[in-house]
Amino acid sequence: MKAWQFTGTNKPLEFNEVAEPHAGPGQVVVAVKAAGVCHSDVTALDDPGWMPLFPVLPRTMGHENAGVITEVGPGMDHWKVGDRVGLSPVMGDGDALGYGVWDGGFGPYLLATDDNLVRLPDEVSFELGAMATDAGLTAYHAIMAVGGAKAGMKVGVIGLGGLGYIGARVAALSGAEVYGAEINPETRALADEIGLTAVADSIEAFKDKNLELIVDYAGFGTTTSAAIETLTEFGTVVQVGMGRLESTINTYPLIINQLSLKGSKSGTKQDLEALYELMKSGQLNPPMNIITQAEIAEAIDKLRAGGVVGRFIAVYE
Ordered DSSP codes for 56-105: SSSEE----EEEEEEEE-TT-TTS-TT-EEEE-SB-TTS-BTTSTT---T
> What average pLDDT is seen over the chain?
95
Reported as a pLDDT band with limits 50, 70 and 90, residue 265 is confident
Strand pairing class (213-216; 236-239): parallel
User: Distance of CA 276 to CAs 105, 130, 316, Å?
Assistant: 20, 11, 21
Q: pTM value?
A: 0.85
Q: What is the mean pLDDT of residues 182-202?
A: 95
Written as one string, the DSSP assignment of 248-301 is ---HHHHHHTT-EEEE-----HHHHHHHHHHHHHTS----EEEE-GGGHHHHHH
Residues 6+ apart with CB under 8 A from 24: 73, 74, 111
> How confident is the model at residue 203, as a pLDDT?
98
> How confident is the model at residue 309, as a pLDDT?
86
3-state secondary structure of 31: strand
| b/e per residue 20-37 (b: at least 16 CB within 10 A) | ebebeeebbbbebbbbbb
Which DSSP category does 135 fall into?
A: I
> How confident is the model at residue 252, as a pLDDT?
98
The Cβ of residue 198 has, within 10 Å, a number of other Cβ atoms equal to 13
> How confident is the model at residue 308, as a pLDDT?
87
3-state secondary structure of 183: coil
Q: What is the mean pLDDT of residues 149-161?
A: 96
Residue 92, pLDDT above cutoff 80? no
The Cα–Cα gap between 44 and 239 comes to: 18
Choose among 54, 45, 49, 60: nearest CA to 12: 45
Query: pLDDT tens across 93-109, in order?
Result: 768 999 999 999 999 99
Cα 125 to its chain centre, rounded Å, is 17
